Protein backbone atom coordinates (compact mmCIF):
# COMPACT_ATOMS: atom_id res chain seq x y z
CA UNK A 1 0.00 0.00 0.00
CA UNK A 2 1.19 3.48 -0.76
CA UNK A 3 0.94 6.93 0.76
CA UNK A 4 -0.48 9.27 -1.85
CA UNK A 5 -0.72 13.01 -2.26
CA UNK A 6 -4.00 13.84 -3.98
CA UNK A 7 -4.13 17.41 -5.30
CA UNK A 8 -7.69 18.62 -5.90
CA UNK A 9 -8.99 15.61 -3.99
CA UNK A 10 -12.13 17.39 -2.79
CA UNK A 11 -13.36 17.99 -6.35
CA UNK A 12 -15.73 15.94 -8.47
CA UNK A 13 -13.34 13.30 -9.84
CA UNK A 14 -10.90 13.54 -6.92
CA UNK A 15 -13.51 12.79 -4.25
CA UNK A 16 -14.74 9.66 -6.02
CA UNK A 17 -11.18 8.50 -6.60
CA UNK A 18 -10.37 9.02 -2.90
CA UNK A 19 -13.15 6.56 -1.96
CA UNK A 20 -11.76 3.92 -4.33
CA UNK A 21 -8.15 4.46 -3.18
CA UNK A 22 -9.05 4.31 0.52
CA UNK A 23 -10.99 1.11 -0.07
CA UNK A 24 -7.94 -0.29 -1.87
CA UNK A 25 -5.93 0.34 1.32
CA UNK A 26 -3.90 3.43 0.36
CA UNK A 27 -3.28 6.31 2.79
CA UNK A 28 -4.15 9.74 1.44
CA UNK A 29 -3.04 13.30 1.96
CA UNK A 30 -5.39 15.68 0.11
CA UNK A 31 -4.18 19.14 -0.88
CA UNK A 32 -6.96 21.44 -2.06
CA UNK A 33 -7.59 25.19 -1.93
CA UNK A 34 -11.37 24.53 -2.06
CA UNK A 35 -11.75 27.14 -4.81
CA UNK A 36 -14.21 24.80 -6.54
CA UNK A 37 -15.16 22.35 -3.79
CA UNK A 38 -15.94 22.02 -0.10
CA UNK A 39 -14.37 20.11 2.81
CA UNK A 40 -17.80 18.51 3.32
CA UNK A 41 -17.11 16.32 0.27
CA UNK A 42 -14.12 14.81 2.09
CA UNK A 43 -16.16 14.22 5.26
CA UNK A 44 -18.54 12.21 3.12
CA UNK A 45 -15.63 10.39 1.45
CA UNK A 46 -14.42 9.26 4.84
CA UNK A 47 -17.91 8.03 5.78
CA UNK A 48 -18.23 6.16 2.48
CA UNK A 49 -14.86 4.50 2.98
CA UNK A 50 -16.07 3.58 6.50
CA UNK A 51 -13.16 5.17 8.30
CA UNK A 52 -13.61 5.55 12.05
CA UNK A 53 -12.28 8.68 13.75
CA UNK A 54 -8.87 7.27 14.48
CA UNK A 55 -8.18 5.73 11.09
CA UNK A 56 -9.65 8.80 9.41
CA UNK A 57 -6.98 10.99 10.97
CA UNK A 58 -4.26 8.64 9.81
CA UNK A 59 -5.61 7.55 6.42
CA UNK A 60 -7.27 10.67 5.07
CA UNK A 61 -5.38 13.83 5.93
CA UNK A 62 -6.50 17.13 4.49
CA UNK A 63 -4.47 20.30 3.93
CA UNK A 64 -5.89 23.56 2.60
CA UNK A 65 -3.33 24.99 0.19
CA UNK A 66 -2.47 26.04 -3.33
CA UNK A 67 -0.41 23.97 -5.75
CA UNK A 68 1.28 27.21 -6.86
CA UNK A 69 2.86 27.70 -3.42
CA UNK A 70 6.38 26.17 -3.57
CA UNK A 71 7.04 26.64 0.15
CA UNK A 72 3.76 24.98 1.08
CA UNK A 73 4.53 22.02 -1.18
CA UNK A 74 8.04 21.73 0.18
CA UNK A 75 6.65 21.61 3.73
CA UNK A 76 4.14 18.94 2.78
CA UNK A 77 6.79 16.60 1.38
CA UNK A 78 9.31 17.35 4.13
CA UNK A 79 6.83 16.95 7.01
CA UNK A 80 5.53 13.68 5.58
CA UNK A 81 9.06 12.30 5.32
CA UNK A 82 10.06 13.43 8.79
CA UNK A 83 6.89 11.88 10.25
CA UNK A 84 8.02 8.56 8.78
CA UNK A 85 5.32 8.54 6.10
CA UNK A 86 6.98 9.84 2.92
CA UNK A 87 4.78 10.45 -0.11
CA UNK A 88 5.20 7.59 -2.59
CA UNK A 89 3.14 8.99 -5.46
CA UNK A 90 0.94 11.91 -6.49
CA UNK A 91 -2.41 11.98 -8.24
CA UNK A 92 -2.78 15.47 -9.65
CA UNK A 93 -6.39 16.58 -10.14
CA UNK A 94 -6.09 20.23 -9.06
CA UNK A 95 -6.81 22.56 -11.93
CA UNK A 96 -9.36 24.65 -13.76
CA UNK A 97 -11.59 22.98 -16.34
CA UNK A 98 -14.18 25.28 -17.93
CA UNK A 99 -13.59 25.80 -21.65
CA UNK A 100 -15.58 29.06 -21.96
CA UNK A 101 -14.00 30.59 -18.86
CA UNK A 102 -10.54 29.70 -20.19
CA UNK A 103 -11.23 31.88 -23.23
CA UNK A 104 -12.14 34.83 -20.98
CA UNK A 105 -9.30 34.48 -18.47
CA UNK A 106 -6.46 32.58 -20.20
CA UNK A 107 -3.80 33.92 -17.80
CA UNK A 108 -5.59 32.26 -14.90
CA UNK A 109 -5.76 28.95 -16.74
CA UNK A 110 -2.08 28.97 -17.68
CA UNK A 111 -1.21 29.98 -14.13
CA UNK A 112 -3.20 27.33 -12.25
CA UNK A 113 -2.86 24.51 -14.77
CA UNK A 114 0.69 24.99 -16.02
CA UNK A 115 2.47 26.96 -13.27
CA UNK A 116 0.68 24.87 -10.63
CA UNK A 117 1.82 21.64 -12.29
CA UNK A 118 5.38 22.97 -12.67
CA UNK A 119 5.54 23.87 -8.95
CA UNK A 120 4.23 20.44 -8.01
CA UNK A 121 6.73 18.64 -10.27
CA UNK A 122 9.62 20.71 -8.89
CA UNK A 123 8.67 19.77 -5.32
CA UNK A 124 8.27 16.11 -6.27
CA UNK A 125 11.68 16.09 -7.95
CA UNK A 126 13.37 17.82 -5.02
CA UNK A 127 11.96 15.23 -2.62
CA UNK A 128 12.65 12.21 -4.85
CA UNK A 129 8.97 11.41 -5.40
CA UNK A 130 8.73 10.65 -9.12
CA UNK A 131 5.48 8.76 -9.58
CA UNK A 132 2.56 10.78 -10.95
CA UNK A 133 -0.92 10.26 -12.36
CA UNK A 134 -2.00 13.39 -14.24
CA UNK A 135 -5.56 14.47 -15.18
CA UNK A 136 -5.37 15.18 -18.87
CA UNK A 137 -8.32 15.56 -21.19
CA UNK A 138 -9.82 14.50 -24.50
CA UNK A 139 -10.05 18.23 -25.14
CA UNK A 140 -6.47 17.87 -26.49
CA UNK A 141 -7.83 16.26 -29.66
CA UNK A 142 -9.79 19.38 -30.66
CA UNK A 143 -11.91 18.54 -33.70
CA UNK A 144 -10.95 14.88 -34.11
CA UNK A 145 -10.04 13.64 -37.57
CA UNK A 146 -11.06 10.07 -36.89
CA UNK A 147 -13.48 8.50 -34.41
CA UNK A 148 -13.02 6.46 -32.24
CA UNK A 149 -9.98 8.50 -31.27
CA UNK A 150 -6.71 6.66 -30.52
CA UNK A 151 -3.96 8.17 -28.35
CA UNK A 152 -1.87 8.62 -31.52
CA UNK A 153 -4.35 11.17 -32.92
CA UNK A 154 -2.88 14.67 -33.40
CA UNK A 155 -2.84 17.01 -30.41
CA UNK A 156 -4.62 20.12 -31.65
CA UNK A 157 -6.38 21.95 -28.82
CA UNK A 158 -8.81 24.70 -29.74
CA UNK A 159 -9.04 26.68 -26.50
CA UNK A 160 -6.72 27.91 -23.70
CA UNK A 161 -7.86 25.13 -21.36
CA UNK A 162 -6.80 22.52 -23.93
CA UNK A 163 -3.53 24.34 -24.62
CA UNK A 164 -2.69 24.37 -20.91
CA UNK A 165 -3.28 20.60 -20.64
CA UNK A 166 -1.20 19.97 -23.77
CA UNK A 167 1.61 22.07 -22.29
CA UNK A 168 1.62 20.01 -19.08
CA UNK A 169 1.75 16.79 -21.11
CA UNK A 170 4.74 18.23 -23.02
CA UNK A 171 6.43 19.19 -19.75
CA UNK A 172 5.92 15.64 -18.48
CA UNK A 173 7.51 14.25 -21.65
CA UNK A 174 10.51 16.56 -21.26
CA UNK A 175 10.92 15.61 -17.62
CA UNK A 176 10.68 11.87 -18.31
CA UNK A 177 13.21 12.21 -21.15
CA UNK A 178 15.63 14.06 -18.85
CA UNK A 179 15.77 11.16 -16.39
CA UNK A 180 14.40 8.12 -18.23
CA UNK A 181 14.79 5.58 -15.46
CA UNK A 182 13.29 7.71 -12.74
CA UNK A 183 9.87 9.04 -13.61
CA UNK A 184 6.76 6.90 -13.60
CA UNK A 185 4.00 8.96 -15.18
CA UNK A 186 0.50 8.30 -16.44
CA UNK A 187 -1.29 10.99 -18.46
CA UNK A 188 -4.95 9.99 -18.39
CA UNK A 189 -7.04 11.63 -21.08
CA UNK A 190 -10.58 11.61 -19.75
CA UNK A 191 -13.52 11.75 -22.10
CA UNK A 192 -16.79 13.02 -20.49
CA UNK A 193 -16.85 12.20 -16.76
CA UNK A 194 -20.39 12.11 -15.35
CA UNK A 195 -22.57 10.34 -12.78
CA UNK A 196 -21.95 10.01 -9.06
CA UNK A 197 -21.19 7.53 -6.30
CA UNK A 198 -24.17 5.11 -6.15
CA UNK A 199 -24.87 6.15 -2.54
CA UNK A 200 -25.83 9.64 -3.75
CA UNK A 201 -23.57 11.09 -1.01
CA UNK A 202 -20.99 12.67 -3.33
CA UNK A 203 -21.35 13.98 -6.86
CA UNK A 204 -20.75 16.89 -9.20
CA UNK A 205 -21.62 20.31 -7.79
CA UNK A 206 -20.92 23.02 -10.39
CA UNK A 207 -20.90 26.65 -9.30
CA UNK A 208 -23.64 28.70 -10.99
CA UNK A 209 -25.19 27.63 -14.28
CA UNK A 210 -23.70 24.34 -15.46
CA UNK A 211 -21.78 24.47 -18.75
CA UNK A 212 -21.96 20.73 -19.28
CA UNK A 213 -24.84 18.59 -20.41
CA UNK A 214 -25.21 16.13 -17.56
CA UNK A 215 -25.40 18.51 -14.60
CA UNK A 216 -27.72 20.72 -16.63
CA UNK A 217 -30.08 17.84 -17.41
CA UNK A 218 -30.15 16.72 -13.78
CA UNK A 219 -30.87 20.26 -12.56
CA UNK A 220 -33.80 20.44 -15.01
CA UNK A 221 -35.11 17.08 -13.76
CA UNK A 222 -34.92 18.23 -10.13
CA UNK A 223 -36.71 21.48 -10.94
CA UNK A 224 -33.83 23.94 -10.47
CA UNK A 225 -33.99 24.92 -14.16
CA UNK A 226 -36.91 25.09 -16.57
CA UNK A 227 -35.60 23.48 -19.72
CA UNK A 228 -32.51 22.32 -21.53
CA UNK A 229 -31.18 24.04 -24.61
CA UNK A 230 -29.96 21.43 -27.09
CA UNK A 231 -27.08 22.95 -29.03
CA UNK A 232 -27.77 22.03 -32.64
CA UNK A 233 -30.13 19.51 -34.21
CA UNK A 234 -28.35 19.26 -37.55
CA UNK A 235 -25.11 17.47 -36.66
CA UNK A 236 -24.20 14.48 -38.85
CA UNK A 237 -25.30 12.00 -36.17
CA UNK A 238 -28.20 9.54 -35.81
CA UNK A 239 -30.64 12.07 -34.35
CA UNK A 240 -28.85 15.30 -35.31
CA UNK A 241 -27.54 16.04 -31.78
CA UNK A 242 -23.92 15.92 -30.58
CA UNK A 243 -22.42 12.57 -29.57
CA UNK A 244 -20.00 12.10 -26.66
CA UNK A 245 -18.33 9.29 -24.76
CA UNK A 246 -19.77 9.58 -21.23
CA UNK A 247 -17.78 7.75 -18.57
CA UNK A 248 -19.16 6.99 -15.10
CA UNK A 249 -17.01 8.76 -12.51
CA UNK A 250 -16.64 5.49 -10.54
CA UNK A 251 -15.22 3.80 -13.65
CA UNK A 252 -12.87 6.74 -13.98
CA UNK A 253 -11.88 6.43 -10.30
CA UNK A 254 -11.12 2.75 -10.83
CA UNK A 255 -9.03 3.70 -13.87
CA UNK A 256 -6.83 5.84 -11.58
CA UNK A 257 -6.34 2.96 -9.17
CA UNK A 258 -5.38 0.69 -12.08
CA UNK A 259 -2.96 3.27 -13.51
CA UNK A 260 -1.32 3.75 -10.12
CA UNK A 261 -0.96 -0.01 -9.59
CA UNK A 262 0.64 -0.30 -13.03
CA UNK A 263 3.12 2.53 -12.40
CA UNK A 264 4.14 1.13 -9.02
CA UNK A 265 4.59 -2.42 -10.39
CA UNK A 266 6.36 -1.74 -13.69
CA UNK A 267 9.70 -0.13 -14.59
CA UNK A 268 9.81 3.64 -15.04
CA UNK A 269 7.74 4.76 -18.01
CA UNK A 270 5.44 7.46 -19.35
CA UNK A 271 2.01 6.09 -20.20
CA UNK A 272 -0.58 8.09 -22.11
CA UNK A 273 -4.04 6.57 -22.08
CA UNK A 274 -7.57 7.45 -23.09
CA UNK A 275 -10.11 6.76 -20.37
CA UNK A 276 -13.49 6.41 -22.03
CA UNK A 277 -16.10 3.76 -22.70
CA UNK A 278 -15.71 3.55 -26.47
CA UNK A 279 -19.50 4.12 -26.77
CA UNK A 280 -21.12 7.30 -28.00
CA UNK A 281 -24.42 8.74 -26.78
CA UNK A 282 -26.30 11.67 -28.30
CA UNK A 283 -27.75 14.58 -26.32
CA UNK A 284 -31.26 13.17 -26.80
CA UNK A 285 -30.18 9.70 -25.66
CA UNK A 286 -28.83 11.29 -22.48
CA UNK A 287 -32.08 13.18 -21.95
CA UNK A 288 -34.15 10.00 -22.38
CA UNK A 289 -31.89 7.90 -20.13
CA UNK A 290 -32.20 10.56 -17.43
CA UNK A 291 -35.96 10.69 -17.80
CA UNK A 292 -36.14 6.90 -17.32
CA UNK A 293 -33.87 7.01 -14.26
CA UNK A 294 -35.60 9.93 -12.57
CA UNK A 295 -39.19 9.36 -13.61
CA UNK A 296 -39.21 13.12 -14.39
CA UNK A 297 -39.65 14.92 -17.68
CA UNK A 298 -36.72 16.89 -19.04
CA UNK A 299 -38.20 19.59 -21.31
CA UNK A 300 -35.84 20.77 -24.03
CA UNK A 301 -35.68 23.09 -27.03
CA UNK A 302 -33.35 23.08 -30.01
CA UNK A 303 -31.13 26.16 -30.37
CA UNK A 304 -28.14 26.97 -32.58
CA UNK A 305 -24.90 24.98 -32.36
CA UNK A 306 -22.48 26.05 -29.61
CA UNK A 307 -19.22 27.55 -30.92
CA UNK A 308 -16.29 25.17 -30.61
CA UNK A 309 -18.33 21.94 -30.42
CA UNK A 310 -17.41 18.85 -32.42
CA UNK A 311 -20.11 16.53 -33.80
CA UNK A 312 -18.76 13.31 -32.29
CA UNK A 313 -15.99 12.51 -29.83
CA UNK A 314 -15.64 8.89 -28.76
CA UNK A 315 -12.56 7.23 -27.26
CA UNK A 316 -10.70 4.27 -28.54
CA UNK A 317 -10.08 2.81 -25.06
CA UNK A 318 -8.26 -0.36 -26.22
CA UNK A 319 -4.82 0.72 -25.00
CA UNK A 320 -6.10 1.19 -21.43
CA UNK A 321 -7.51 -2.32 -21.55
CA UNK A 322 -4.24 -3.70 -22.87
CA UNK A 323 -1.96 -1.83 -20.43
CA UNK A 324 -4.13 -1.69 -17.30
CA UNK A 325 -6.65 -4.47 -17.78
CA UNK A 326 -9.22 -1.71 -17.22
CA UNK A 327 -12.45 -1.04 -19.07
CA UNK A 328 -15.66 0.70 -18.10
CA UNK A 329 -18.25 -1.43 -16.30
CA UNK A 330 -21.16 1.01 -16.20
CA UNK A 331 -23.41 2.36 -18.95
CA UNK A 332 -25.69 5.33 -19.52
CA UNK A 333 -28.52 3.90 -17.39
CA UNK A 334 -26.14 3.38 -14.41
CA UNK A 335 -24.78 6.89 -14.91
CA UNK A 336 -28.28 8.36 -14.93
CA UNK A 337 -29.47 6.32 -11.93
CA UNK A 338 -26.45 7.32 -9.81
CA UNK A 339 -26.50 10.91 -11.05
CA UNK A 340 -30.15 11.12 -10.04
CA UNK A 341 -29.44 9.56 -6.62
CA UNK A 342 -27.00 12.44 -5.98
CA UNK A 343 -29.13 15.22 -7.49
CA UNK A 344 -32.38 14.16 -5.81
CA UNK A 345 -30.78 13.76 -2.37
CA UNK A 346 -28.80 17.02 -2.74
CA UNK A 347 -30.91 19.33 -4.93
CA UNK A 348 -28.65 22.28 -4.11
CA UNK A 349 -25.44 20.27 -4.16
CA UNK A 350 -23.28 20.44 -1.03
CA UNK A 351 -24.99 23.67 0.05
CA UNK A 352 -27.89 21.68 1.39
CA UNK A 353 -26.85 18.55 3.27
CA UNK A 354 -29.01 15.69 2.01
P1 LIG B 1 -13.15 20.04 -9.88
O2 LIG B 1 -13.12 21.50 -10.11
O3 LIG B 1 -14.36 19.43 -9.30
O4 LIG B 1 -11.90 19.60 -9.00
C5 LIG B 1 -10.67 20.31 -9.03
C6 LIG B 1 -10.23 20.54 -7.60
O7 LIG B 1 -8.99 21.27 -7.60
C8 LIG B 1 -11.23 21.36 -6.78
O9 LIG B 1 -11.44 20.73 -5.53
C10 LIG B 1 -10.54 22.70 -6.60
O11 LIG B 1 -10.92 23.34 -5.39
C12 LIG B 1 -9.08 22.30 -6.63
N13 LIG B 1 -8.15 23.37 -7.06
C14 LIG B 1 -8.31 24.22 -8.09
N15 LIG B 1 -7.25 25.05 -8.16
C16 LIG B 1 -6.40 24.70 -7.16
C17 LIG B 1 -5.14 25.18 -6.72
N18 LIG B 1 -4.54 26.22 -7.33
N19 LIG B 1 -4.56 24.58 -5.66
C20 LIG B 1 -5.17 23.55 -5.03
N21 LIG B 1 -6.37 23.06 -5.39
C22 LIG B 1 -6.98 23.63 -6.45
O23 LIG B 1 -12.80 19.34 -11.29
P24 LIG B 1 -12.89 17.81 -11.72
O25 LIG B 1 -14.01 17.66 -12.66
O26 LIG B 1 -12.81 16.94 -10.52
O27 LIG B 1 -11.54 17.72 -12.57
C28 LIG B 1 -10.33 17.26 -12.01
C29 LIG B 1 -9.25 17.34 -13.07
O30 LIG B 1 -9.64 16.59 -14.22
C31 LIG B 1 -8.97 18.75 -13.55
O32 LIG B 1 -7.57 18.89 -13.73
C33 LIG B 1 -9.68 18.81 -14.89
O34 LIG B 1 -9.06 19.70 -15.79
C35 LIG B 1 -9.53 17.37 -15.38
N36 LIG B 1 -10.60 16.98 -16.33
C37 LIG B 1 -11.91 17.13 -15.98
C38 LIG B 1 -12.91 16.79 -16.88
C39 LIG B 1 -14.36 16.97 -16.55
O40 LIG B 1 -15.19 17.05 -17.47
N41 LIG B 1 -14.75 17.01 -15.27
C42 LIG B 1 -12.57 16.27 -18.16
C43 LIG B 1 -11.23 16.10 -18.47
C44 LIG B 1 -10.23 16.47 -17.55
N1 LIG C 1 -24.93 20.32 -24.77
C2 LIG C 1 -26.22 20.80 -25.01
N3 LIG C 1 -26.76 21.63 -24.08
C4 LIG C 1 -26.10 22.02 -22.95
C5 LIG C 1 -24.80 21.53 -22.72
C6 LIG C 1 -24.23 20.69 -23.66
O7 LIG C 1 -26.83 20.47 -26.02
O8 LIG C 1 -26.65 22.80 -22.17
C9 LIG C 1 -24.33 19.37 -25.73
C10 LIG C 1 -23.04 19.86 -26.36
O11 LIG C 1 -23.31 20.64 -27.52
C12 LIG C 1 -22.34 18.53 -26.68
C13 LIG C 1 -22.79 17.62 -25.53
O14 LIG C 1 -23.98 18.20 -25.02
O15 LIG C 1 -22.82 18.00 -27.90
C16 LIG C 1 -21.76 17.49 -24.41
O17 LIG C 1 -21.38 18.79 -23.99
P18 LIG C 1 -20.58 19.03 -22.61
O19 LIG C 1 -20.44 20.50 -22.43
O20 LIG C 1 -21.23 18.26 -21.52
O21 LIG C 1 -19.18 18.32 -22.89
P22 LIG C 1 -18.05 18.62 -23.98
O23 LIG C 1 -17.83 17.34 -24.72
O24 LIG C 1 -18.33 19.81 -24.77
O25 LIG C 1 -16.78 18.96 -23.08
C26 LIG C 1 -16.46 18.31 -21.86
C27 LIG C 1 -15.66 19.26 -20.98
C28 LIG C 1 -14.32 19.51 -21.60
C29 LIG C 1 -13.62 18.22 -21.84
C30 LIG C 1 -14.45 17.32 -22.70
C31 LIG C 1 -13.78 15.98 -22.83
O32 LIG C 1 -16.36 20.48 -20.83
O33 LIG C 1 -13.55 20.27 -20.72
O34 LIG C 1 -15.73 17.14 -22.09
O35 LIG C 1 -13.38 15.52 -21.59
F36 LIG C 1 -12.46 18.44 -22.45
Give 96-118 pLDDT, tens digit per residue. 999 999 999 999 999 999 999 99
pTM given for the model: 0.98
Query: What is the atom index within ligand 2 of the atom nearest the CA of 305?
Result: 11
Could you give all domains of the chain from N- to C-terminal order, each with its CATH number? Answer: 3-351 (3.40.50.720)
Say what the alpha-carbon torsion angle 328, 332, 338, 341 is, to the nearest 10 degrees: 180
Q: Measured in angstroms, how far is the CA atom of residue 50 from the centroid of ligand 2?
A: 34
Mean pLDDT of the chain: 96
Q: Measured in angstroms, how far is the CA atom of residue 8 from the centroid of ligand 1?
A: 6
Query: What is the atom index within ligand 1 of the atom nearest the CA of 190?
Result: 43
**What are phi and psi for residue 123, nearest 5 degrees?**
-65, -40
In this structure, the residue with its CA closest to atom 37 of ligand 1 is 97
Ligand 1 pocket residues where CB is under 6 Å: 7-8, 10-14, 32-37, 66-68, 93-95, 97, 112, 116, 135, 137, 190, 193
| Number of residues assigned to the chain | 354
Distance CA 66, CA 47 (A): 25
Give 124-166 pLDDT, tens digit per residue. 999 999 999 999 999 999 999 999 999 999 999 999 999 999 9
User: What amino acid positions are annotated as catalytic residues?
Assistant: 161
Give 293-340 pLDDT, tens digit per residue. 999 999 999 999 998 899 999 999 999 999 999 999 999 999 999 999
- 3-state secondary structure at position 31: strand
Which ligand has the minimum distance to the alpha carbon of residue 10? Answer: 1
pLDDT at position 354: 42
In this structure, the residue with its CA closest to atom 4 of ligand 2 is 213
Q: What is the mean pLDDT of residues 284-292?
A: 98
Distance CA 228, CA 212 (A): 11
Angle at 143 between CA 141 and CA 147, to 5 degrees: 80
Distance CA 130, CA 290 (A): 42
Distance CA 111, CA 16 (A): 26
Contact predicate 70/34, CB 8 Å = no
Ligand 2 pocket residues where CB is under 6 Å: 97, 99, 137-139, 190-192, 211-213, 216, 228-231, 242, 244, 283, 306, 309
Amino acid sequence: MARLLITGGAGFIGSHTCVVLLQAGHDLLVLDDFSNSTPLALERVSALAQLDNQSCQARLQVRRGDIRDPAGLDNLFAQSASAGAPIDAVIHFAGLKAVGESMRVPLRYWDVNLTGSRCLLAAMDAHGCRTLVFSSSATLYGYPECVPIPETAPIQPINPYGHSKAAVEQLLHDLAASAPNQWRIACLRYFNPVGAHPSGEIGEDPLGTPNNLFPFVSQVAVGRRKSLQVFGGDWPTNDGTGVRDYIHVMDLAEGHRAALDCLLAEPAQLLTLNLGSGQGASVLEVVHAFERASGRQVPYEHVARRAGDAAITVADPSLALQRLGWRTQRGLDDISRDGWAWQSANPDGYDEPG
